[in-house]
């Protein structure tokens, strides 16, 4: 099968290439009853399509800077580093995408991110909270509209994106990020205000209705809330929320649904799945995205941030957060002898190494504890701590951290 994958752009393992880059799961297709020759035709079609994309990309980048393109193609430059390899942001983003689709390590790292959307979970929780609160206050129709917004984004749209695999899945992931950027820019403030309003109705309605709110019904609701008489809160809130000014406010919020549905549906149609086949590489895709989102954001800037800050799968994200916290508390200023503090930080960032990782690779290396915050002393070794074993240096800094705490 490897004969199908003659490429000017990469030397990827055929099995990895078919499954992770082309997004074709051969074993699943065989279980579904697909014939071998049909599967092979599908693989060849997807390969030729992607190869055309990469050809267009390589030619375009070469016209921008053949030297920079050769550098990202032939060396161990990461996708993040590729962003700054060209003088303009668009070329940098295109170069990063090229690197992700042709470098085994970058491909494996970035393509795993398309399976996780955890950074948007807080918004999903806010929408759920609003829907539940409106329903509990006897306004199930409003509650259902908010739930529909949540399900539209996090069930239907996200589900469509997650069904895309391989390189098409990666562009789907980028598309979803652009869509969520649009959604948050337009509606995040309103939604968080609505949740706050529903969680603190007495205070917020007082602000909204002014003196008109200082009435018997206000006192009755406050009394019901204070006494936790939940069965009396809902009908009182429903009566209070029926004020025309409040209804107008809720209608404005829940009117989001049709806007979101129309915008996200158009986004999916124009930028994902088979739509990719009509573009001349990522440059064409970015131009289409820029046109679609032109009134709302700088697409190149957003894509650059997504590539700089990839989303890790849950367990990796948690592990990284723990590692970064521990490093910040204990190891940030524990430095191998021979490195300055700044050069050590640069090394760790570039090679994605923790102090513990480096120690495992260089068990005999000596370490030092250096100042990290003290003005005029940053990077200088603490007295008596400039030639220690890794364990000694780590324990010494732990003791310092505990003393400061």
What pLDDT, on a 0 to 100 scale, did the predictor assign at position 331? Answer: 40
C-alpha dihedral, 48 to 53 to 56 to 59, nearest 10° = -90
CA 240 to each of CA 56, 231, 372: distance values in angstroms, whole numbers, following the listed order:
61, 15, 57
What pLDDT, on a 0 to 100 scale, did the predictor assign at position 318? Answer: 47
Tokens of 76: 């161990």
Tokens of 394: 């780590």
**Tens of each residue's pLDDT in the chain, 405 residues:** 434 455 656 666 777 788 878 878 777 666 766 777 777 887 888 888 888 888 888 899 999 988 888 888 877 788 888 888 888 899 999 999 998 888 877 887 777 666 666 678 888 888 999 889 888 877 788 888 889 999 999 989 988 888 888 888 889 989 999 999 899 888 888 788 778 877 776 666 556 555 444 455 555 555 555 554 445 556 666 666 666 766 776 676 667 788 888 999 999 999 998 888 888 789 999 999 999 998 788 899 989 888 886 544 444 444 444 444 444 444 447 888 888 888 888 888 788 788 888 888 888 888 888 876 555 667 777 776 777 888 878 777 655 544 444
The closest of 133, 351, 96 to 253, measured between CA atoms, is 133
CB count, 10 Å around CB of 262? Answer: 10
Q: Is the dihedral of CA 119, 200, 135, 260 positive or negative?
A: negative
Alpha helices in 293-389, H assignment, sequence order: 299-308, 314-326, 341-351, 355-361
Per residue in 199-227, pLDDT (tens digit) is: 776 666 556 555 444 455 555 555 555 55
Per residue in 159-189, pLDDT (tens digit) is: 888 888 888 888 998 999 999 989 988 888 8
- Return d(Cα 242, Cα 189) in angstroms, integer: 23
The closest of 112, 99, 7, 16 to 52, measured between CA atoms, is 7
Domain boundaries, the chain: 2-113, 118-278, 314-404
Alpha helices in 83-215, H assignment, sequence order: 89-102, 104-113, 121-136, 140-151, 158-162, 166-199, 201-209
CA 355 to each of CA 287, 340, 347, 358, 405: distance values in angstroms, whole numbers, following the listed order:
42, 14, 11, 5, 22
CA 187-193-194 angle, 5° bins: 90
Helix pair 244-254, 140-151: axis angle to 10 deg: 20
What pLDDT, on a 0 to 100 scale, did the predictor assign at position 368? Answer: 87
Give the pairing type, strands 367-369 and 334-336. Answer: antiparallel
The closest of 253, 245, 165 to 205, measured between CA atoms, is 245
The closest of 184, 173, 180 to 307, measured between CA atoms, is 173
Contact 365, 390 (CB under 8 A): yes
- Return d(Cα 146, Cα 160) in angstroms, integer: 20
If you write DSSP's letter for every residue of 10-34 in order, what string do you get? ----HHHIIIIIS---HHHHHHTT-
């Amino acid at each position: 099968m490897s004969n199908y994958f003659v490429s000017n752009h990469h030397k990827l393992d055929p099995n990895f290439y078919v499954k992770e880059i082309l997004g074709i799961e051969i074993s699943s297709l065989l279980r579904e009853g697909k014939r071998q020759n049909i599967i092979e035709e599908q693989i060849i079609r997807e390969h030729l399509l992607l190869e055309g994309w990469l050809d267009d990309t390589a030619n375009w980048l070469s016209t921008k800077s053949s030297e920079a393109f050769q550098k990202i193609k032939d060396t161990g430059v990461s996708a993040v580093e590729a962003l700054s390899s060209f003088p303009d942001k668009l070329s940098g983003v295109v170069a990063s995408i090229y690197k992700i689709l042709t470098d085994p390590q970058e491909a494996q790292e970035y393509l795993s991110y398309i399976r996780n959307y955890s950074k948007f979970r807080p918004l999903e929780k806010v929408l759920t909270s609003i829907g539940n609160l409106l329903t509990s206050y006897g306004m199930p129709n409003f509650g259902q509209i908010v739930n529909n917004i949540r399900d539209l984004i996090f069930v239907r749209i996200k589900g469509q994106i997650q069904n895309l695999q391989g390189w098409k899945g990666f562009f789907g992931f980028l598309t979803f990020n652009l869509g969520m950027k649009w959604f948050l820019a337009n509606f995040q403030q309103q939604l968080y205000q609505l949740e706050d309003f529903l969680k603190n109705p007495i205070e917020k309605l007082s602000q909204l209705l002014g003196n008109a709110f200082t009435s018997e019904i206000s006192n009755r609701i406050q009394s019901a809330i204070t006494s936790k008489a939940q069965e009396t809160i809902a009908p009182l809130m429903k009566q209070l929320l029926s004020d025309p000014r409040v209804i107008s406010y809720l209608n404005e919020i829940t009117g989001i649904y049709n806007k979101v549905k129309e915008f996200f549906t158009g986004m999916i149609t124009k930028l994902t799945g088979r739509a990719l086949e009509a573009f001349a590489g990522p440059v064409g895709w970015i131009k289409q995205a820029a046109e679609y989102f032109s009134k709302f954001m700088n697409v190149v800037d957003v894509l650059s941030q997504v590539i700089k800050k990839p989303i890790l799968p849950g367990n990796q994200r948690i592990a990284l957060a723990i590692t970064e916290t521990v490093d910040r508390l204990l190891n940030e200023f524990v430095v191998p002898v021979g490195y300055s503090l700044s050069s050590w930080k640069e090394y760790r960032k570039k090679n994605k190494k923790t102090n513990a990782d480096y120690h495992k690779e260089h068990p005999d290396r000596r370490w030092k504890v250096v100042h990290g915050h003290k003005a005029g002393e940053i990077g200088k070794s603490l007295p008596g701590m400039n030639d220690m074993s890794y364990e000694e240096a780590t324990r010494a800094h732990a003791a310092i951290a505990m003393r400061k705490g």
